[in-house]
Structure 1
Amino acid sequence: MRRTAAVIGTAIFFVFVPCVVAGVIPWWISRWEFRLSFLGVELTRFVGAALILAGVAGLVDSFARFALQGLGTPAPIAPTQHLVVTGLYRYVRNPIYVAVVAVIFGQAVLFGDWRLFAYGAVFWLLCHLFVVGYEEPTLKESFAAKYEAFRINVPRWIPRLTAWRGDQ
């Protein structure tokens, strides 16, 4: 896939998947109405805002790497030509899913809405099933030894404390 097509495809996927999953659906659930803060502590709202900002930054970075380095998209119908193991991928194998969940949980904390926590947990479970059942076998088939080294050294969900310095 050419770089221009990868960028356009990634941008389209970004609008239709993460923006819906982490924006439209949480809005539909909560209408982004502020409820009582969690544990009665208003400072928790700052934690929520920080999770949202970190998640959005992680999403943008990861999507850009898919298009510019991987020469593909996060969509299974137009996958990357190269395994992406830079940026946040040096810390966690699935930074896009982690970032989306961070945005959803951040909204839950910001707005004080337990329903968003439940939605985020269900979303994460579905991501886990998809990753284990489809993504990992597909990546193993497509990238063989490179993916195996990446898989062994970089955790699926909980980020490493130090960056993996493997094949980049």
Structure 2
Amino acid sequence: MIKTVLILPGTALVYVPLLIHYFTGGWPFGGSVGGVTAWSIAFVLAVPAIALAATTMRLFVLQGKGTPAPWDPPTKFVVSGPYSYVRNPMLTSVMIMIAAESIAFSSFALLGWAVVFFALNTVYFIYSEEPALERRFGSVYRHYKSAVPRWVPNLRPYNAPDGA
């Protein structure tokens, strides 16, 4: 699990932002950081995003019997918790954390990274992950996919049919 965290969220939230800061002269390579207000807003965004990430990873490990990593995916389909409202809550948490970073460091470049990250993941989900989930979980996933939105949460939780 540690390898998964170091590689996946580590790349999106630490390694790429550091490269962006390096090439744009941002903090810690010479740029300034946001003030108290920016850091307060970032904190308010980051704390629930971290809790959401931890919850979704925990569900993948405990209920799904796998990890968020493509090389060790869950063997059981997870539809509880945040997954009953939206199909990709883990990515939502990462997007919110990148937005919090861009606010804390007053970085439009990081905001650009959030847009690129979102676009890349959208393409990945549509053309790779979702077809793979349909092959692995069949009609159970297709029903879930038709009832639960990819990005904007439902107001009511998804109730899986019996046997799902």
- Taking structure 1 as the reference length, the TM-score comes to 0.83
Q: CA shift at 1:35, angstroms?
A: 4.0
How many residues align? The count is: 155
1:99-144, Cα deviation, whole Å (9 max, x unpaired): 1111001111122211110011101100001000100000011111
Query: Is structure 2 residue 11 aligned with structure 1 residue 20?
Result: yes
Q: 2:65 aligns with which of 68, 71, 76?
A: 71
Q: After the TM superposition, which residues 20-59 of structure 1 pair with which residues of structure 2 at under 5 Å, given as runs?
A: 20-30=11-21, 31=27, 34-35=32-33, 43-59=37-53
Q: 1:86 aligns with which of 57, 80, 83?
A: 80
Q: CA shift at 1:81, angstroms?
A: 0.9
Distance 1:35 1:28 in 2: 16
Matched with 1:160 is 154
Distance 1:165 1:34 in 2: 48
Point out where structure 1 has 5 or more consecutive residues left out of the alignment.
1-9
Q: After the TM superposition, which residues 144-159 of structure 1 pair with which residues of structure 2 at under 5 Å, given as runs?
A: 144-159=138-153
Point out where structure 2 has 5 or more consecutive residues left out of the alignment.
22-26
Distance 2:63 2:34 in 1: 43
Partner SS for 1:17:
helix
Letter in structure 2 aligned against 1:71: K
Check whether the contact 1:49–1:107 (CA below 8 A) recurs between aligned residues.
no
Q: CA shift at 1:96, angstroms?
A: 1.3
Q: Determine what percentage of the aligned residue pairs are the same residue.
A: 28
- Taking structure 2 as the reference length, the TM-score comes to 0.85
Distance 2:89 2:118 in 1: 12
